[in-house]
Amino acid sequence: MIYVTILISAIFVNNIVLSQFLGICPFLGVSKKINTAIGMGMAVTFVMVLSSMVTFLLQKYILESLGIEFLQTITFILVIAALVQLVEIVLKKVSPALYQALGVFLPLITTNCAILGVAILIIQKNYSMVEGVVFAAASAIGFALALIIFAGLREHLDLQDVPKGMQGTPIALVVAGILALAFMGFAGIV
């Protein structure tokens, strides 16, 4: 039951983009077309689950047992950067089809603050390994969901007659705000 709570809370109630403000850069940057949004969503899901597992083990068995938790930020970001490179190399060799689909998005993920944010949140919330993985997967799904809905909205927005000063980023931000307002409707289910 606790897993269901974590799942629903991370996807809808505390959506990582629309209520926690993590990963805004890719949210605004790669949301012009639905296809690229789907690709980015999948790449983020993959890396987020993998990196949260690795950083969790690192925190529990190396940083905590040596009493050097203050090195958390440095270690996590380096591990995530290395992991993304590794995933890229492995994917290229093992599954060229998947690499074709996700390849372009992988380098962008290193500087996606959602990945580091979720890794740190799992430690802060004192989750167990399994809870952590469920939380990471749910957060990533929440990210993908928000990204895909937003991409759909922006495709429609292209056809609208937007006032000149509002074109581009300003109108996108206002639409994101309205979407965030809609997601606030989920508050209170969990």
Nearer CB in complex with other proteins: 65/163: 163
Minimal distance in Å, beta carbon 84 to other proteins?
12
Minimal distance in Å, beta carbon 142 to other proteins?
13
Nearer CB in complex with other proteins: 101/120: 120
Torsion, Cα 127 130 136 138, to 10 degrees, reads: -110
Q: Which of 11, 44, 52 is nearest to 27 (CA)?
A: 44
**Binding region for other proteins (CB under 8 A):** 18-25, 28, 70-74, 77-78, 81, 111-113, 116-117, 120-121, 124, 165-166, 169-174, 176-178, 180-181, 184
Nearer CB in complex with other proteins: 58/98: 58
Residue 168 phi/psi, 5° resolution? 85, -130
Nearer CB in complex with other proteins: 18/137: 18
Minimal distance in Å, beta carbon 116 to other proteins?
5
Q: Is 73 exposed, middle or buried (0-12, 13-18, 19+ CB in 10 A)?
A: exposed
For the chain, report the end-to-end CA distance as a whole number of angstroms: 11
Nearer CB in complex with other proteins: 73/95: 73
Say how far apart CA 66 and CA 98 lie, in whole Å. 38
Minimal distance in Å, beta carbon 1 to other proteins?
27
User: CB within 8 A of 115, min separation 6: which ones?
Assistant: 44, 47, 48, 51, 80, 109
Minimal distance in Å, beta carbon 120 to other proteins?
6
